[in-house]
Homo-oligomer: A and B are copies of this chain.
Amino acid sequence: MISQTAEYALRAMVFLAIRESAATGQEIAKATQVPPGYLSKVMQQLAKGKLVKSQRGMGGGFVLAREPEKVSILDIVNAVDPIEKLLVCPLGVQGHGLNLCPLHKRISEATAQVENAFARSTLSELIVESKNPLCSVPLTPSNRA
């Protein structure tokens, strides 16, 4: 459904939202169980997508760039791994602009459904909704603010 990379990005964002203060890559990686080296790549993409702000040096790390209410799941997924849209017929056939054949219309509709669902969910919903945000990632002394 979504790529591994998108999963990682979502976990990291949820973690930052829970935490409400800067966290280093190491901390995020540990808490979210993402390979540290790879996480840094993902965080870079999130930074480029203006979803987090990064700060180097001591006391630095990553912080959300916006309120959790204003970040959708779709924003996050798109930042690292844009959902491809299928606006063009995968066969080489020209001439039916947006008039996709029934097969591709079905696929396109399913994609749109997912996009809408993801666009409607905000980061804030993901943390207030349960006592178990992020599958109970523990806020240990090392990753608590």
* Residues 1-46 (chain A) with a chain B CB within 8 angstroms: 1-2, 7, 10-11, 14, 32-33
* Residues 61-105 (chain A) with a chain B CB within 8 angstroms: 73, 83-84, 86, 89-93, 95-96, 99-104
Choose from B102, B118, B133, B134 the contact partner of A126 (Cβ within 8 Å): B102
Copies of this chain: 2
Cα A119 to Cα B107 with chains together (Å): 12
Choose from B73, B102, B133, B134 the contact partner of A130 (Cβ within 8 Å): B102
Q: Which residues on B sit within 8 Å (CB–CB) of A106?
A: 73, 117-118, 121, 126
Cα A127 to Cα B101 with chains together (Å): 9
Q: In the bound complex, do residue A89 and residue B1 qualify as a contact, i.e. CB atoms below 8 Å apart? A: no
Binding site for B on A (CB under 8 A): 1-2, 7, 10-11, 14, 32-33, 73, 83-84, 86, 89-93, 95-96, 99-104, 106-107, 109-111, 113-114, 117-118, 121, 125-127, 129-130, 132-137
A-B contact pairs, 29 of them (CB 8 A): A1-B86, A1-B110, A1-B111, A11-B90, A11-B103, A33-B91, A33-B92, A91-B135, A91-B136, A93-B135, A93-B136, A95-B136, A96-B135, A99-B132, A100-B135, A101-B130, A101-B132, A101-B133, A101-B134, A101-B135, A101-B136, A102-B130, A103-B126, A106-B117, A106-B121, A106-B126, A110-B114, A110-B118, A113-B117
